[in-house]
Structure 1
């Protein structure tokens, strides 16, 4: 399945938030945290705000590293979400929405005062708000 992007480069703000999340959850890999963040944002009912997000950090990963064994499922989930939101599923829209959802999800996880361990990621979504 064709990925929405070949490489993902994060903002410095997102990198800083991921550093905090690595410390709190003890999850050592950026890509695993980013997958959780993407899924967290996709589960949110609202569409992410179309704000410009700088690619100003040195944190970058390939789609293969980001998606890992569930890369195809992440693409399907992103396409479904874009379809539901009436945004279309062309390559540019998918790339933009991936970036917006990923950064929003990182912000949600980093801003969750109840997230204090890896086990807290497993709590039902309704307890995250």
Structure 2
């Protein structure tokens, strides 16, 4: 499946937050932490706030590296979420919503004081949704 998102850069703030998460969880790859963050944001029922997000760090990922083997599934999840939120699925909307969800999710994970190791991420994913 062809993604409208070819490559993306993280904000410096997101890079700093991911660096902290890398230290805590011992997950060394940016893309894996970004997948966790993206999914964490998608699980949130509210639409992310439309805030400007600078691409001012030196961390840049391609969609294929970000998504890995589940890149198509992540793209479908993004499209479905945009549809559920009444936003449409044109390229610009998908790119914008992806960046908003990714950065919001990074903020959620970095701000969760209970995430001190990789098992805490797994526990978070297994919690029933309220």
What TM-score, normalized by structure 1, do the two folds share? Answer: 0.95
Q: Contact 1:4/1:98 (CA < 8 Å) preserved in 2?
A: no
Q: Contact 1:11/1:53 (CA < 8 Å) preserved in 2?
A: yes
- The number of residues matched between the two structures is 129
CA distance in 2, matches of 1:49, 1:8: 19
Unaligned runs of 5+ in 1: none
1:119 and 2:125 correspond = no
CA distance in 1, matches of 2:24, 2:106: 13
Over the aligned positions, Cα root-mean-square deviation in angstroms equals 1.6
Q: Match for residue 105 of structure 1?
A: 105
1:74-89 → structure 2 map (5 Å cutoff): 74-89=74-89
CA distance in 2, matches of 1:121, 1:127: 14
Measured against aligned partners, the alpha-carbon deviations of 1:67-118 in whole angstroms (never above 9, x if no partner) come to: 1000000000000000000000111100000000000000000000100100
Measured against aligned partners, the alpha-carbon deviations of 1:7-30 in whole angstroms (never above 9, x if no partner) come to: 010000000000000000000100
CA distance in 1, matches of 2:62, 2:81: 22
SS of corresponding position for 2:61: strand
Q: Match for residue 44 of structure 1?
A: 44
CA distance in 1, matches of 2:54, 2:127: 30
Unaligned runs of 5+ in 2: none
**CA offset at residue 2 of structure 1?**
1.6
Greater than 2 Å deviation, 4+ residue runs: 124-128
What TM-score, normalized by structure 2, do the two folds share? Answer: 0.95
1:58-97 → structure 2 map (5 Å cutoff): 58-97=58-97
